[in-house]
Amino acid sequence: MSKQVQDAYIVSATRLPIGKSGRGYFKNTRPDEMLVKVMQAALAQAPGLDPAAIEDAIVGCSFPEGEQGMNIARVASVLAGLGNTIGGVTVNRYCASGITAVQMAADRIRVGEADVMFAGGVESMSMIPMGGNKPSLSPLIFEKDENIGIAYGMGLTAEKVAAQWKISREAQDAFSVESHRRAVAAMQAGHFAAEITPFDVVERTPNLADGTVNIKTRTVSLDEGARPDTSLEGLAKLKPVFAAKGSVTAGNSSQTSDGSGGLLIVSEAALKRYNLTPLARFVSFAVRGVPPEIMGIGPIEAIPAALKAAGISAKDLDWVELNEAFAAQSLAVLNDLDSKGIELDRAKVNPNGGAIALGHPLGATGAIRAASVIHGLRRTGGKYGMVTMCVGAGQGAAGIFERL
């Protein structure tokens, strides 16, 4: 913080509703189309801002290949009509790709290199599977035992966290039920309205009788993963999916999803020049590494570092988006931080539910949850909020925002 020359302000923050991968809203929607919509919506929320003032678009994506390859940040910025003068770069820090894009964009402003930036994230798990279309692990990974965790599937790392931090199956299922309960309650109360940009999904089906194509358009405006009928009894019937005698099930893991989110970040000079209203200030960011085989515990290292950089304590946080990759890792993070005196108020952690209920579109999640924090703070009057998550291959990341 002492080395920055100016503050970075968020003037718009939005996201699309999150769809279930493979069978949900966006199963046939290209990720570049989702990102284009988010870019246009973010710009529309900052009236008076000249699109040509945006210097660069930084976009996170966990598996930037296929339909979300070819530097989707640059492609989408052109397709969105932002102009040919705007740059674009796609970045990958797996599940922290979106929040890393926000940090990178904010830092360009904080060191005085830019005045207006777009930051976002996008992921279509319907079109690009976990691991990508052609995963290829280096043989060097298997030459040393301490590196083998890089090759572990995410579910197996969750099992290892559950075992090492003694997180029971019952606790994981109870955490999952609460995630769904909070998500459904937030939807019914309309708490997502400010952060979500509705999307018109176009469905095309062939009419074999006359050779024509039937086109149907529907508008989606809510995440489709939350289930009001989720119960402990129902989750208890599910079998472990990653280890025969394990405790991690489909019901206490995050959903695979499609989605996109984006923010416009500006300097104080741009605020005045374009008469913009700041929603929040970007305060701090930290990333730390942990052993790959227990990657889920990453936030226990990143959170204290982000708090220290912000000059605040855990008690100052009014809203925390702790990404629920797995109930086991979320509980392990919370319990471990408690034991170190860094207590996060459970009522302020994922108050609108988390990824178990709402979904987790990998590289988009950080940007999506940044929009959730900013609008959540504005609705409730809170001051500081944090987005944090574990990251594949053994990392944790955390970013802190201040409502203005």
pLDDT in tens, 163-179: 999 999 999 999 999 99
Segment 64-71 shows an average pLDDT of 97
Whether the pLDDT of residue 3 is over 90: the answer is no
**Residue of 95, 180, 191, 375 marked active site:** 95
CA distances (Å), 161 to each of 85, 156, 167, 168, 292, in order? 47, 9, 8, 11, 11
- Tens digits of residue pLDDT in 170-219: 999 999 999 999 999 999 999 999 999 999 999 888 888 888 989 999 99
Instruction: Let me know: does 367 contact 121? Beta carbons within 8 Å.
Output: yes
- Give me the pLDDT at residue 316, please: 98
- Tens digits of residue pLDDT in 111-129: 999 999 999 999 999 999 9
Torsion, Cα of 216, 220, 223, 224 (10° steps): -30
What is the C-alpha to C-alpha distance for residues 363 and 101, in angstroms, rounded to an integer? 10
**Residue of 61, 180, 375, 390 marked active site:** 390
Whether the pLDDT of residue 1 is over 80: the answer is no
95 is catalytic: yes
CA distances (Å), 182 to each of 71, 221, 332, 345, in order? 36, 18, 20, 15
Segment 350-379 shows an average pLDDT of 98
Whether the pLDDT of residue 76 is over 90: the answer is yes
pTM of this prediction?
A: 0.96
Segment 147-169 shows an average pLDDT of 96
Tokens representing 318?
A: 């009014």
- Give me the pLDDT at residue 2, please: 52
Supply the mean pLDDT for the chain: 97
Helix/strand/coil for 186: helix
360 is catalytic: yes
- Tens digits of residue pLDDT in 242-282: 999 999 999 999 999 999 999 999 999 999 999 999 999 99
Whether the pLDDT of residue 388 is over 60: the answer is yes
Residue 134 is given by DSSP the state: S
61 is catalytic: no
Which residues face 253 on adjacent strands? 326
Q: What percent of the chain has pLDDT over 70?
A: 100
**Residue of 61, 180, 191, 360 marked active site:** 360
